[in-house]
């Protein structure tokens, strides 16, 4: 894999992650608005809250796993630069954990709001 190809993959997977998170948060926002202005229990909203939470956690996790793998494949000459050191210092596994926890909690609160 050439350095240009690896860099393009990193850019693409980062964009994918942000797109996944944007989609997840906007759908959860829509569910919240529907619950706020709606009349209560809705089976479709319940299933949507579960599905979008799973999508955000799983698809976001896969994108971050790919970014971690690409970071580990960074050539030594790039890893020695200021950019490489900065990339290596980022806590992407921590981002994955916090992201999954927050999406999960938000989805759980949406599910509980639908049921109550």
Predicted confidence (pLDDT) per residue in 92-107, tens digit: 999 999 999 999 999 9
The CB-based long-range contact list for 35-44 (8 Å cut-off, 24+ gap) reads: 35/110, 35/113, 35/114, 41/114, 41/115, 42/114
Tally of domains in the chain: 1
**Domain carrying residue 43:** 3-115
The per-residue pLDDT for 76 is 85
Q: What is the pTM of this model?
A: 0.85
Alpha-carbon gap, residue 73 to 54, rounded angstroms: 29
Mean pLDDT, range 45-63, rounded to an integer: 95
- In this prediction, residues 8-28 reach a mean pLDDT of 93
């Amino acid at each position: 894999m050439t350095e240009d190809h690896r860099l393009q993959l990193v850019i693409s997977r980062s964009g994918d992650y942000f797109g996944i998170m944007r989609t997840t948060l906007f759908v959860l926002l829509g569910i919240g608005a529907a619950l706020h202005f709606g009349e209560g229990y809705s089976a479709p909203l319940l299933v949507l809250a579960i599905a979008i939470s799973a999508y955000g956690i799983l698809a976001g996790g896969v994108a971050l796993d790919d970014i971690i793998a690409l970071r580990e494949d960074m050539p030594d000459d790039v890893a020695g630069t200021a950019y490489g050191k900065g990339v290596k210092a980022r806590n992407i596994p921590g981002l994955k954990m916090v992201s999954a926890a927050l999406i999960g909690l938000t989805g759980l609160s949406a599910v509980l709001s639908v049921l109550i």
